[in-house]
Amino acid sequence: MKLKFFSRIATVILGLLFLLPHSFAQSENQTKNVVVILIDGYRWEELFKGAEFDLLNNKKYNPDDSLERFKKFWSDNLDERREKLMPFTWNYIAKHGQLYGNRDLGNDVNVMNPYWFSYPGRAEILSGFVDTAVNSNEYPDNPNTNVLEFINNQKGYEGKVVTFACWRATGRCLHKDKRSMLINVPWENIQGNHLTETEILANEMQHYIPQIFGDDERLDANVYALAKSYIMASHPKVTYIDFGDTDEYGHAGKYENYLEDIHNLDAMIEKLWNLMQQDKFYKNNTTFYVVPDHGRGVGAQWTDHGSDVPHSNETWFMVMGPDTKPMGEMKIQEQIFQTQYAKTIAKILGLDYKVAGKETGKVIKSVVEK
């Protein structure tokens, strides 16, 4: 009788031991790769409401009098209007991911730094905390740790974290000269002895296309070509892509160009996502995390941002991947700050991002809870 009893107990224990690894495997994150995309100075208003009629109809903010921009971007229906501007975002990401920052629904996302412009915004996003000493776009090398560096130092990620940036200052923000990561800024080429044809072409094109924004910034199309060609050739695990034409067109008061760039970026994100989902290294294990660094003013102040421009601390973000529930446009009344992105991005990969002596923003639970 005792033998039968102990035999049953042993069978149960062995069964539990057999199940344990399976249970653990199920609880692990499916995400093994992350693409973080920054769109400089893109307002939440256009993302969630599409083109703004008063700006679209104002000759001051549009390069010509053509009605084509109305055909391309305008509809009296809000859903149709925002879909015209960002078709991939609203036809795909909204169904398979999460979009945060529609203030009309009480879903608020904000900059936490007190400056509300580009370098401090990037520093906040990438470090996960605010350093008020980082107070200028001309700020020198940022001494603070960032989440990309943290991930690059983790086992299995060494040399697999890369950045392709539109702006030289992004290199300073990431302290390029002191990092072992690849941080590609204007007008650097992809390096290597065995470059693919697409990498060679991307290198060449950035030098042939006019530098319309000056020596410090290259066009989004160049950044996209470089990043995409490198991703498919080298398969990094974490890629940070830093876009900036939106902010330049905003400051120049060119609303139609601002909208065109957003429309093009939406298409670039779509093509990159689809291409990576066709690659066995990335398929079903990659998360996209898309953010701006700050917002913009409203009305006549839409061209500007900064602490003296109301509403330019209002932002948004969207995320899509195997560990993020497909909840679409978030309608929960809540307050999120972009100091929370760094820890959340690390958490998506199953990592706990910490910085000695600093309190980082908390993980955004709805992004990572299954």
Contact between residue 249 and residue 261 where contact means Cβ atoms under 8 Å apart = yes
Q: Is the pLDDT confidence value at 13 over 90? A: no
Distance CA 290, CA 189 (A): 25
CB 223 within 8 A of CB 229: no
Q: Between residues 260 and 14, which one has the greater pLDDT?
A: 260
pLDDT of residue 8: 56
pLDDT digits (tens, 9 = 90+) for 324-347: 999 999 999 999 999 999 999 999
Give counts: helices (H), strands (E), the chain. Answer: 16, 11
Report the pLDDT value the prediction gives residue 6, as an integer from 0 to 100: 44
Percent of the chain scored above 90 by pLDDT?
88
**Sheet containing 334-337, strands listed edge to edge, beginning at the edge strand earlier in sequence:** 314-315, 107-110, 334-337
How confident is the model at residue 17, as a pLDDT?
41
Q: What is the mean pLDDT of residues 86-94?
A: 98
- State the DSSP H helix or E strand holding residue 130, giving kind and residue range, or none if neither: none
- State the pTM of this model: 0.92
Closest listed residue to residue 265, CA positions, set 219, 305, 196, 201: 219
Per-residue pLDDT tens digits for 116-157? 999 999 999 999 999 999 999 999 999 999 999 999 999 999
What is the rounded CA–CA span in Å between residue 62 and residue 254? 5
Give me the mean pLDDT over the 36-58 stretch: 97
| Distance from C-alpha of 103 to C-alpha of 226, rounded to nearest angstrom | 35
Q: Which tens digits make up the pLDDT trace of 302-325?
A: 999 999 999 999 999 999 999 999
Mean pLDDT, the chain, integer = 93
Convert the pLDDT of each residue in 179-228 to its tens digit: 789 999 999 999 999 999 999 999 999 999 988 999 999 999 999 999 99
Contacts of 207 (CB under 8 A, 6+ apart): 187
Asked whether 167 and 139 are in contact (CB, 8 A), the reply is no
The distance from CA 323 to its chain's CA centroid, rounded to whole angstroms, is 16
Give the tens place of pLDDT for each residue, 154-192: 999 999 999 999 999 999 999 998 878 999 999 999 999
For residue 136, the Cα-to-chain-centroid distance in whole angstroms is 22
DSSP code at position 86: -
Average pLDDT for residues 252-276, to the nearest whole number? 98
Binning pLDDT at 50, 70 and 90, where does residue 64 land? confident
Give the integer Cα–Cα distance in Å for 36 and 76.
33
What share of the chain has pLDDT > 70, as a percent? 93
Q: What are phi and psi of 242, to 5 degrees?
A: -115, 105
Q: State the average pLDDT over residues 266-295.
A: 98
Q: Which residues pair with 184 in a beta bridge?
A: 164
Q: How far apart, in Å, are the Cα atoms of 76 and each of 69, 84, 90, 239?
A: 14, 12, 17, 38
SS3 114: coil
Between 370 and 13, the higher pLDDT residue: 370
Strands 161-165 and 182-184 turn out to be parallel
